[in-house]
Every structure is written in structure tokens, then in C-alpha cells.
């Protein structure tokens, strides 16, 4: 369904704006190119450097968790993936970051097109002060993704079902989005993101403002979305990272310390810093 909605008039082959494929550094050259690939990614806030030479591969249709103590740069990295950092005037990116082989910091890239395909869910549920229906339909409307009212309604229903919210709200779609409970609001925000069929969903501590029951529901939802979307989630809860992610990357003081299969990172970390963090000695 999502494939029919996104019109890609220009096929990859004759796409002009794309830069030459960056030569991957030797360390990872044995791997085949992963879906999201960061190479020597540095982020600066004015004079202050927030990320140092991050090399990170994120695989398609998996959940990748970014963990680390607060201020370690995990959120900065997440926001670099759909260029939300551009909103901060003093913020500067240096290095390479590709999604499906395309450099997203290339001048030809349009952040609107990028963000339409790399969606984001925020820490605090932030539904628009509009009805539930309008919240989900928002992206469809701005991107002109549906051609009729019924198509729009179908699409909203599908999104709400994907987010596991349909049964709870189908009889009150015209009520304001912020009349829902916190957990429902967060799932509404996920439905809103899913509606435009992004390739990647970025989640910035999506459960930190929720109670345990709502958290469990959102975690279930994330797990079920995995088959269709590439998900990158920042979390400060190691249990959550262990529960929902397949891969985990540990950040500390702006550096990527370790990345690997979640199971390995938590049971048998290669680095001492990771060990210290997951056993609670730092953070």
C-alpha cells in the first residue's frame, strides 16, 4: 500500500542529484552497504562538539536502540538522521550520513522530502490541537497523498489500526487529540507518523512520559511495526532496549563506544565502558 502512495517520478538510475557513492572506510568495507550508514559523522553546536567521528550502520527493518547516559549525544545523532538539527541555527553537521545509499546532507536534498520519508516520534506526546482524525490526516494532506475523501478515511483507519489505536478511538475521531490519555496520545503520534508511510521511524525516548501499562502497549506496537519499518529508538531504559531492539549502540560523551546485536551488548559487552554503564556504574 505504501509503495503506491509515494510517487517517485525519477528512478534511481537516471537520478541526477545524487553524489558519487562515498567510499566506505576500510573497517566496515567487508559489510554490504547497510540501510542507514554514518561515516565520520561530527555534530557541532557552535564551538562545542557534540558527536565525534561516528561510524554506525543501521539495518533495514530492524529496531536499533541508541543508549547511553544523558548528554552522550544519542538524541543528537537521532535528530541528525532526519536533519531536525537544522532547526538549531548554530548546529553544524560534518561527515557522511546515507540512507539507502543517498547522502542526506547533500545540497540537492530537500529536508521536506527527507522528513516525509524519515518520520519522527518525540519524547513528549505532541498531538496537534486538532481532532484525532485531523491529526492522522495531517501528513496525508500536506503531502497530497490521497486523492479522495474515502481514500483519506481508509488511510487514517489503516494508520490507526497499525498503531493499535483504532478500537479505542474509532467512535470519537472528531474529538481533540489531546483529550486522549498520555499513552493513547503517543500512539496517535505514531499513527500520524505511520500514515505517510515513511521508510524510517525515529523515536526519541517515546515512553519516557508514559506509565508502565502505556509503555508496554507502545513497546508492543514498536515490535509489530518492525516488519514494515526501519526503527531507530533512543531510550534511557536499558530494559526497554533489551526488550524491543535487535541491535544496540552505546554512546558515551559524544562517541560511539560499541554497537552490536542487543543480546551481545547486554550479556557480553566488548568494552569496559559499556559494561560499566549497563551494570549501573556510570550514567
The least CB distance from residue 117 to other proteins, in Å, is 6
- Residues of this chain, 37-96, that bind other proteins according to CB under 8 A: 82, 84, 87
Q: Could you tell me if 6 and 117 are in contact, meaning their C-beta atoms sit under 8 angstroms apart? A: yes
Using CB under 8 A, pick the residue from 1, 4, 8, 47 that binds other proteins: 8
Name the segment binding other proteins (CB under 8 A); options: 22-30, 117-125, 237-245, 259-267. Answer: 117-125
The least CB distance from residue 200 to other proteins, in Å, is 10
What sign for the dihedral angle of Cα 121, 276, 51, 34?
A: negative
Cα–Cα dist 149/54, whole Å: 45
The residue (of 69 and 176) whose beta carbon lies closer to other proteins is: 176
Find the Cα–Cα–Cα–Cα dihedral 219, 223, 225, 226, rounded to 10°. 140
- Residues of this chain, 191-220, that bind other proteins according to CB under 8 A: 192-193, 196, 199
**Which grid coordinates are listed for 67?**
543508549
Cα–Cα dist 99/35, whole Å: 6
The least CB distance from residue 223 to other proteins, in Å, is 22
Using CB under 8 A, pick the residue from 15, 29, 267, 279 that binds other proteins: 15
The least CB distance from residue 245 to other proteins, in Å, is 21
Using CB under 8 A, pick the residue from 28, 49, 69, 109 that binds other proteins: 109
What would you report as the CA-atom Rg of the chain, rounded to the nearest whole angstrom? 19
**Which grid coordinates are listed for 239?**
530494559
| Closest to 163 measured CA to CA, from 190, 200, 132 | 190
Name the segment binding other proteins (CB under 8 A); options: 66-74, 100-108, 230-238, 271-279. Answer: 100-108
| Closest to 78 measured CA to CA, from 107, 47, 36, 49 | 36
Cα–Cα dist 267/60, whole Å: 24
Using CB under 8 A, pick the residue from 10, 20, 90, 213 that binds other proteins: 10
Using CB under 8 A, pick the residue from 102, 131, 237, 273 that binds other proteins: 102
**Which grid coordinates are listed for 180?**
486522549
Report the interface residues with other proteins, using CB under 8 A: 6-12, 15, 17, 82, 84, 87, 99-100, 102, 104, 106, 108-117, 119-120, 122, 124, 126-130, 138-139, 141-145, 189, 192-193, 196, 199
Amino acid at each position: 500500500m505504501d509503495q503506491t502512495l509515494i510517487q517517485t517520478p525519477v528512478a534511481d538510475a537516471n537520478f541526477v542529484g545524487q553524489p558519487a557513492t562515498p567510499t566506505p572506510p576500510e573497517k566496515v568495507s567487508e559489510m554490504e552497504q547497510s540501510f542507514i550508514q554514518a561515516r565520520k559523522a561530527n555534530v557541532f553546536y557552535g564551538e562545542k562538539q557534540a558527536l565525534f567521528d561516528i561510524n554506525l550502520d543501521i539495518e533495514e527493518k530492524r529496531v536499533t536502540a541508541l543508549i547511553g547516559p544523558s548528554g552522550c549525544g544519542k538524541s543528537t545523532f537521532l535528530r541528525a538522521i532526519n536533519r531536525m538539527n537544522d532547526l538549531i541555527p548554530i548546529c553544524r553537521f560534518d561527515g557522511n550520513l546515507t540512507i539507502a545509499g543517498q547522502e542526506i546532507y547533500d545540497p540537492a536534498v530537500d529536508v521536506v522530502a527527507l522528513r516525509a520519508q524519515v518520520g519522527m516520534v518525540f519524547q513528549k506526546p505532541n498531538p496537534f490541537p486538532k481532532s484525532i482524525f485531523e491529526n492522522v490526516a495531517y501528513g496525508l494532506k500536506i503531502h497530497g497523498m490521497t486523492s479522495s475523501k474515502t481514500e483519506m478515511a481508509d488511510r487514517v483507519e489503516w494508520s490507526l489500526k497499525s498503531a493499535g489505536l483504532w478500537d479505542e478511538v474509532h467512535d470519537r475521531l472528531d474529538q481533540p487529540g489531546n483529550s486522549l490519555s498520555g499513552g493513547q496520545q503517543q500512539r496517535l503520534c505514531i499513527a500520524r507518523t505511520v500514515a505517510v508511510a515513511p521508510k524510517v521511524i525515529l523515536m526519541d525516548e517515546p515512553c519516557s512520559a508514559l506509565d508502565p501499562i502505556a509503555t508496554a502497549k507502545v513497546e508492543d506496537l514498536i515490535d509489530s511495526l518492525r516488519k514494515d519499518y526501519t526503527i531507530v529508538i533512543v531510550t534511557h531504559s536499558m530494559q526497554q532496549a533489551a526488550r524491543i531492539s535487535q541491535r544496540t549502540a552505546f554512546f558515551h560523551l559524544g562517541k560511539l563506544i560499541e554497537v552490536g546485536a542487543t543480546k551481545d551488548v547486554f550479556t557480553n559487552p566488548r568494552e569496559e565502558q559499556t559494561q560499566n554503564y549497563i551494570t549501573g556504574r556510570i550514567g
